[in-house]
Amino acid sequence: MPDATIAAIATPLGEGGLAVVRISGASAFAVADKCFLPVGKSSLKPSAAPTHTIQFGKIIRDGTVIDEVLLAVLRAPRTFTREDTVEISCHGGLLPAKLVLDALLVSGARQAEPGEFTKRAFLNGRIDLAQAEAVADLIHSRTELALAAANEQLAGKLSQRINQLRDDLMLILAHIEAHLDFPEEDISPDTKDKLLQRLENGVAFMDELLRTADEGQILRRGIRAAIVGRPNAGKSSLLNQLLGRDRAIVSHLPGTTRDTIEETANIRGIPVVFIDTAGLRESQDEIEREGVRRSRESLAQAEFILHVLDASESLTAADEKYLAEFADKKRIIVRNKTDLPWKLYLPDNLSDPTVDVCSVSGQGIEPLKDVIKSLVWAGKIKAEMLQVAINSRHQDALKRARSATRQAGDALRNDLTLELVTIDLRIAANAVGEVVGKTTTEDLLDSIFSTFCIGK
């Protein structure tokens, strides 16, 4: 275990009412004692204060008062890291928090690395690796559904199922290894059938978890949707309606949008990153050509598109060209400006979902949100799914575990040597263990915790 005492600002940088500076480690109280001056008869030095109490005082450095603070004393093991912890609430703003942190560093603490507090919570056994990842998911949640999924994982709902799966694999492994110790005794047909059934149950359970991967990744990172169409079709007005605020400049002049604009909206609980693109057309204007080029880059990266057409104009050759060009892309056709006299008629062979809207009044926006949700998320969003929505790291580990489990089953079914069965079962159990951190490498931990903010 690391023995250094670490410190960091745990709140976002910037001006605010309060900022929190966190210290954790064996010398947390000694470090805080050096720069904390209690104020009032009932205030105590951190080392003398009872656990889970608040002390009022001042942070001092070289005899100079930096700030008046409230200091929380949290004694191990009833802390986030299971180490002695001090949390100092000072006045918000970049300078007060920085000077408080500097005083702690001068007094013997070390600047914490990204995610180091959560990493210590994992290393000290307070949470497993899946729960540690949920901390980051919780912080970065952009919708209530994403928040609910992160809370379920932080509560250990996914970990319980993963641990049960690993225990089942280890029991099968132990049963087969027992037969290896007594090679003269063959596995009876009944026992063999039971073992094969348990392996199949394990594969079925992994399949169930793997089916949540796409939804889990959508909740965590959102899904990208490019808004495309000819200039002046109403793309920017549509973006503003979906966001519920004026984000893009709207003008009756074609080509107002010269660059891509990205904003995230909560669409029926799903974070959708909308990209307002420059109108697609040939242009001699160098800036507009660059905007069109960036629009096409955004199109390539988007999971689906909203193709906006002007319902007050007849279908043009350019419209037909772009309808054909994006035919292979998952998309929704949005007929805009339905408040004006209707002139637009779509080709009969167009099978994409179509929604009529008026991006000025907002008519049709709610049905459009329903269609967006149905396009990117199949079926109802159930609480049971939120409990086990896996991320891409879990997905990779479970795919390897599933493959090894299937190989173990095939080897057992075909009466191959039991040593081969045990090798595959160990690979499967280790891969499942990676999800919760029962089998890890330092590189894996560094990769996960490096994505955290400094104070977490």
Residue at which a domain ends, from 356, 376, 396: 376
Q: Does 226 share its domain with 163?
A: no
The mean pLDDT of 151-164, rounded to a whole number, is 90
C-alpha 296, offset from chain centre: 27
- Report the CATH number that the domain containing residue 304 is assigned in CATH: 3.40.50.300
Q: Does 392 share its domain with 338?
A: no
Q: Is residue 410 part of a domain?
A: yes
Tens digits of per-residue pLDDT, 108-140?
999 999 999 999 999 999 999 999 988 988 888
pTM score above 0.85:
no
Q: Is residue 177 part of a domain?
A: yes
How far, in Å, CA of 431 to CA of 398, rounded? 7
Q: What pLDDT does residue 300 have?
A: 73
- Report the CATH number that the domain containing residue 185 is assigned in CATH: 1.20.120.430
The mean pLDDT of 448-455, rounded to a whole number, is 81
Q: What pLDDT does residue 253 have?
A: 42
Residue 290 has pLDDT above 90, yes or no: no
Helices and strands counted in the chain (H then E): 16, 13
Q: Does 422 share its domain with 348?
A: no
Let me know the angle formed at the C-alpha of 213 by 376 and 167, rounded to the nearest 5 degrees: 155
Q: Is residue 400 part of a domain?
A: yes
Q: What pLDDT does residue 258 have?
A: 43
CB 456 within 8 A of CB 200: no
Let me know the angle formed at the C-alpha of 329 by 230 and 366, rounded to the nearest 5 degrees: 70
Domain boundaries, position 80: 6-112
> Between 218 and 100, whose confidence is greater?
100
Q: Which residues pair with 36 in a beta bridge?
A: 59
- Report the CATH number that the domain containing residue 98 is assigned in CATH: 3.30.1360.120
Percent over 90 (pLDDT), the chain: 42
Q: Which helix (H) or strand (E) holds 413?
A: helix 392-413
Q: Does 107 share its domain with 161?
A: no
When the pLDDT of each residue in the chain is averaged and rounded to a whole number, the result is 85
Q: Does 208 share its domain with 229?
A: no
Q: Is residue 88 part of a domain?
A: yes
Q: Does 154 share its domain with 284?
A: no
How far, in Å, CA of 261 to CA of 225, rounded? 12
3-state SS class at 424? helix
Q: Does 42 share its domain with 11?
A: yes
Helix 442-449 crosses helix 129-140 at what angle (to 10 degrees)? 20
Tens digits of per-residue pLDDT, 304-321?
889 999 988 888 888 888
How far, in Å, CA of 249 to CA of 377, rounded? 31
Q: Does 311 share its domain with 255?
A: yes
Q: Does 269 share its domain with 351?
A: yes
- The dihedral formed by the CA atoms of 53, 55, 61 and 64, expressed in degrees to the nearest 10: 170
Q: What pLDDT does residue 103 have?
A: 96
DSSP assignment of 19-31 equals EEEEEESTTHHHH
> Between 1 and 65, whose confidence is greater?
65
Residue 250 has pLDDT above 80, yes or no: no
Q: Is residue 124 part of a domain?
A: no
Q: Is residue 368 part of a domain?
A: yes
| Number of domains forming the structure of the chain | 3
Q: Does 250 share its domain with 366?
A: yes
The mean pLDDT of 19-44, rounded to a whole number, is 95
Q: What pLDDT does residue 257 have?
A: 44
Q: Does 245 share its domain with 326?
A: yes
Q: Does 196 share its domain with 233?
A: no
Tens digits of per-residue pLDDT, 182-232?
665 666 766 788 889 999 999 999 998 888 887 787 777 788 888 888 888
Q: Is residue 255 part of a domain?
A: yes
Q: What pLDDT does residue 61 have?
A: 93
Both tokens of residue 205? 């359970």
Q: Is residue 383 part of a domain?
A: no
DSSP assignment of 106-171 equals HTT-EEPPTTHHHHHHHHTTSS-HHHHHHHHHHHH--SHHHHHHHHHHHTTHHHHHHHHHHHHHHH
> Between 83 and 174, whose confidence is greater?
83
Q: What pLDDT does residue 125 have?
A: 92
Residue 71 has pLDDT above 60, yes or no: yes
The mean pLDDT of 3-21, rounded to a whole number, is 90
Q: What pLDDT does residue 254 have?
A: 46
